[in-house]
Amino acid sequence: MKVFTKIIFPVLFLSCFQALQAQFLSATDTSESTVRKYKSIINTNKEIVQFIENSLASKGLPKHLRNLALIESHFDRNITSHAGAVGVWQFMTAHANQYGLTEDRRNDLYRSTKVAVVSLGNLYKKYNNWVTVVAAYNCGEGNIAKAMQSANSTQYHIFSKYLPAETINHVKKYLNACYATGELSGVLTNYNNSRMKALFESRTGVKEGSSLSETEINAGFNLKIIAEELKIDLAELLAWNPGIEEELQSSGESTFYLPTDLMPDFLLRKNKILSRSVKEGIK
């Protein structure tokens, strides 16, 4: 069985994500007219959209970020906002200069897109979710930092009330556009992954930079016996694997996480653990 050793933060299974999505963020305009409007703009600018999507994909970024240009400019490279932002990606001079894009090149689709891809990638490394990235792209990292400090939280749904109304509306437009392109679920799952990662860190003490390994187990394994064989507390094992009991019960299998130094011991004892689980389950 293949084992992946990398930094992984377990999350609750899909039904929990859906509940969280409904609770915190959602599209605010799902009308047919709005969906048609966004789809029409994309279809009218197919070549530009394809270039943007390819540029994003080449750097490992999701294609739904094309919707940022959609709501920023409707893909019009010659547009200038009331604040002086220019081009498809609506770069202000300072933001453009930060990445070596001169003021007169902001309406250059190819150069501005390459800069936007780098900028968005850097923002994601900092915030770890696309919702906050979209907000930061609109109002700047300084305003995000102030809002987080005021709310004493790094979660967008909590600190957003301290952001400019324009930015809050911008994020709403982005979520609406993602609904229109059928990508809203992925954006919200990404946001909730980030939330659950932070929750996991706070509850287990396993911080980013600490590694967990993953493998697969089925419902034949008794979690209590796994804990006994590895000489760890069951509560600790469950903290590394939130939702695993429900997942095993509902689907019969689940991804299973352990600290990297414990995984080899589990794999060596795996057959013994399964055999003991089956035997004690029959009793």
Residue 255 lies in a domain: yes
Considering the domain architecture, whether residues 260 and 276 belong to the same structural domain is answered as yes
Considering the domain architecture, whether residues 76 and 174 belong to the same structural domain is answered as yes
Considering the domain architecture, whether residues 68 and 175 belong to the same structural domain is answered as yes
Which helix (H) or strand (E) segment is 5 a member of? Answer: strand 4-6
- The range of the structural domain enclosing residue 247 comes to 211-282
Of the listed ranges 41-55, 73-87, 162-176, the least confidently predicted one is 73-87
110-134 residues labelled b (16+ CB within 10 A) or e (exposed): ebbbbbbbebbeebbeebbbbbbbb
| pTM > 0.75 | no
More confident residue, 107 or 181: 181
202-222: average pLDDT: 74
Distance CA 227, CA 272 (A): 13
| Predicted local confidence at residue 99, as pLDDT | 81
Considering the domain architecture, whether residues 128 and 175 belong to the same structural domain is answered as yes
List Cβ neighbours of 82 (8 Å cut-off, separation of 6 or more). Answer: none
End of a domain among 171, 203, 235? 203
- Tell me whether residue 137 is exposed, middle or buried, using C-beta atoms within 10 angstroms of its C-beta: 0 to 12, 13 to 18, 19 or more: buried
Q: Express each pLDDT in 121-165 by its tens digit.
A: 999 999 999 999 999 999 999 999 999 999 998 899 999 999 999
Residue 90's nearest CA partner among 98, 175, 82 is 82
Distance CA 68, CA 153 (A): 25
Considering the domain architecture, whether residues 29 and 153 belong to the same structural domain is answered as yes
pLDDT class of 213 with cuts at 50, 70, 90: confident
Task: Give the CATH number, domain containing residue 98.
Answer: 1.10.530.10
pLDDT at 1 over 50: no
Considering the domain architecture, whether residues 18 and 115 belong to the same structural domain is answered as yes
End of a domain among 203, 219, 250? 203
Considering the domain architecture, whether residues 41 and 134 belong to the same structural domain is answered as yes
Considering the domain architecture, whether residues 41 and 176 belong to the same structural domain is answered as yes
Give me the number of domains the chain comprises. 2
Considering the domain architecture, whether residues 184 and 240 belong to the same structural domain is answered as no
| Predicted local confidence at residue 283, as pLDDT | 56
| Predicted local confidence at residue 281, as pLDDT | 77
Distance CA 220, CA 281 (A): 9
| Predicted local confidence at residue 108, as pLDDT | 85
pLDDT at 102 over 90: no
Q: Answer yes or no: are the C-beta atoms of 41 and 75 closer than 8 Å.
A: yes
Considering the domain architecture, whether residues 105 and 188 belong to the same structural domain is answered as yes
Residue 39 φ then ψ, to 5°: -65, -35
Which helix (H) or strand (E) segment is 153 a member of? Answer: none
Residue 41 lies in a domain: yes
Residue 3 lies in a domain: no
Residue 78 φ then ψ, to 5°: -100, 5
Considering the domain architecture, whether residues 114 and 234 belong to the same structural domain is answered as no
Residue 6 lies in a domain: no
Residue 7 lies in a domain: no
End of a domain among 155, 177, 203? 203
Q: How far is CA 71 from CA 76, 142, 191, in A?
A: 10, 22, 20
Considering the domain architecture, whether residues 148 and 31 belong to the same structural domain is answered as yes
Residue 156's nearest CA partner among 238, 166, 167 is 167
List Cβ neighbours of 75 (8 Å cut-off, separation of 6 or more). Answer: 41, 45, 48, 49, 69, 88
